[in-house]
Amino acid sequence: MTTNTRATVKTTATRLTKTLWSWASILDDGAREQAERTSTMPFVYPHLALMPDAHLGLGATVGSVIPTLRAIVPAAVGVDIGCGMVAVRTQYTAADIAGPALRDLRLAIEQAVPTSAGSYNQRLTETAEARVAELEALAGKAGFDPARYAGSWRLQLGSLGSGNHFIEVSLDEEDRVWFFLHSGSRGVGNKIAQHHIAVARDLMTRYWIDLPDKDLAYLVEGTDEFWAYIRELRWAQHFALLNREEMMDRVVAAFDAWSGLAPVEEAERINCHHNFTELEHHFHKDVWVSRKGAIRAREGDPGLIPGSMGTASYVVVGKGNPLALDSAPHGAGREYSRSKARRTFTHEQLREAMAGIEYRDTDAFIDEIPAAYKSIDRVMQDAADLVEVRHTLRQIVNVKGD
């Protein structure tokens, strides 16, 4: 039993150091050492929490929750600011869509949503106009022009990206049809993050501050650099949320056209970040909580935890675990780097893993093979005191960018 400021909570976590708790039953030495370095920063309070999917990242471990007093580490948020997931439950079931070919649905989605790194819209679509106007107004209030980072930022809204970003059509335990996608703030968010990481590094050099890792460079609350980052971070987080909303609307439209059924009636929509920072109250203090590969899981919070390509994903509700700083994992978490996965696995193994799922059959996705990730079942077992599973989703269509 662990006593904390809010309640007495049973936990599966392991205390690795005075300032580091871990829910990860699978944790390699490199990730553990990296997390330990981060947890020693003097402004971390009360402790760093490692989620079940934790693995090595840039500066800070992916799958970590880092609460900080009066300071923030831009690399602890990551370069894909606001990355996260959105899911929609429809009124339809598997029986309703048994006729049309799923391949045609995949192709329709790929035509509606630009995929791959650097692939954006050719024009500002009608559905994106209101969202772009909202972002322009928000940028004006924040006092900056996103075009200084990416002149094409408006055309980036409604684009997926590559890597582990995806769009899926799935069925739940009752065979109900869901749409599920994963993406973030695209090129403009990356440029914003890279700029402020560089600013933080420059400040460390200017003031002769030694760090255990250069990517732990930080900004101090109250300085112009700190508040400039917060303003632009919040803008990028909102861009990411609207980017997912825009893509989801296009997926729904593509499904409507493909199915020939009555328009989709959304029974439920969940949209949540897993690379973000918010000011929150934990253990009697206001702290900046940076979740790098973790979702917020306060009691009652809806959330989404995707598996890897070809495996199950989960719709969850938070349990509000205080020791975990009201957080939960964001996915399966890599066990193999992309380069090692390409050296280890084959195209035929990917085909076997994706059997029964409509996807673009290419060796470009070998590094996304499920075997390159931790078992999502193991991750969910480790997260038993963080979230409750509401729905288990299994893919029938997968769309990715290479």
Q: How far apart are CA 12 and CA 385, in angstroms?
A: 7
What is the three-class DSSP state of 40?
coil
Q: Which of 134, 161, 152 is nearest to 80 (CA)?
A: 161
Q: Which of 329, 44, 59, 333 is nearest to 194 (CA)?
A: 59
Name residues whose C-beta falls within 8 Å of residue 267's C-beta, 6 or more positions apart in sequence. 89, 90, 91, 176
Report whether 222 contacts 70 (CB < 8 A). yes
Report whether 181 contacts 244 (CB < 8 A). yes
C-alpha separations of 338 from 79, 224, 268 in Å? 17, 38, 34
Residue with tokens 């070998």: 366
SS3 content of the chain, % helix, strand, coil (to 5): 35, 25, 35
Q: Which of 5, 19, 3, 1 is nearest to 64 (CA)?
A: 19
Active site residue 330: yes
Q: Which of 65, 86, 110, 132 is nearest to 276 (CA)?
A: 65
47, 274, 330, 391: the active-site residue: 330
Environment class of residue 348 by beta-carbon count within 10 Å: exposed (0-12), middle (13-18) or buried (19+)?
Answer: exposed
Catalogue the active-site residues. Answer: 330
